[in-house]
Amino acid sequence: IDPERRIGYVRITSFEQVTPKQFDDVLSTLLNRQHMRGLVLDLRDNPGGLLDAVVAIANRFLADGPIVTIRYRSRQEQAYQANGDHTCPDFPLAILINRGSASASEILAGALRDRGRAELVGERSFGKGSVQELIDIPGIAGLDGAVKLTIAYYYLPQGQRIHGTGVTPDKEVSLTAEQQEAMNDSWRQVYITEGLPSVTRPTTDSAPQRRAIMIDPQLQAALNGVGEKLDASFRATK
């Protein structure tokens, strides 16, 4: 996305079973073929998905330590730890979030922020981090029912509960209604042209993707942040 400073861009639209493999393929291309030095990871309007998938993605950025903890009402909590499986180099990383980022996307953004691995840019996320269970209730005359109960909540490494509060960005950048609509139109053209995988990466021969990037002040702020870290690292090594 920034050839001069070699900053890559990846957008994850949902966390599905295939997402970690897709992400690894894209990341390998950016690192090994394009010699990426920094990354912007776009989780905006990502509604979530599979917990195992988001834990696998977090493992790409964390060698050890906590990712997320599930705290139950009536049984022992369950903690997910990074194990260093396929950890990528420690390059500058910015993550884009907005009000449409929920559940698994909030886990990834919040965990990498809490662990000091990423800077978050954009708007506060949705705040969806509960575990629910469906309990069948026998009825009368064959009319059975069910009730859905919240049995647990997700907690980030520094102890914040996601549900009801969301994840706050380090650098808040809001969009006007006109900017949001223009971005939505551009991304719709991207997906009409190229389909909708769960992981997308703009390429130099994609005009719709370039248009989506050019009118995106949140992405520009994230690029500036990654670029500043790269510049500071370059000055420190001189």
Residues with catalytic function: 103, 114, 128
Q: Which three-class secondary structure string do you get for the chain?
A: CECCCCEEEEEECCECCCHHHHHHHHHHHHHHHCCCCEEEEECCCCCCECHHHHHHHHHCCCCCCEEEEEEECCCCCEEEECCCCCCCCCCCEEEEECCCCCCHHHHHHHHHHHCCCCEEEECCCCCCCEEEEEEEEEEECCEEEEEEEEEEEEECCCCCECCCCCCCCCEECCCCHHHHHHHHHHHHHHHHHHCCCCEECCCCCCHHHHHHHHCCHHHHHHHHHHHHHHHHHHHHHC
Place of tokens 């269970």: 133
Tokens in use for 235? 């000055």
Q: Which residues pair with 120 in a beta bridge?
A: 95
CA distances from 95 to 51, 73, 75, 103, 236 (A): 18, 32, 33, 15, 24
Distance between CA atoms of 58 and 68, rounded to whole angstroms? 10
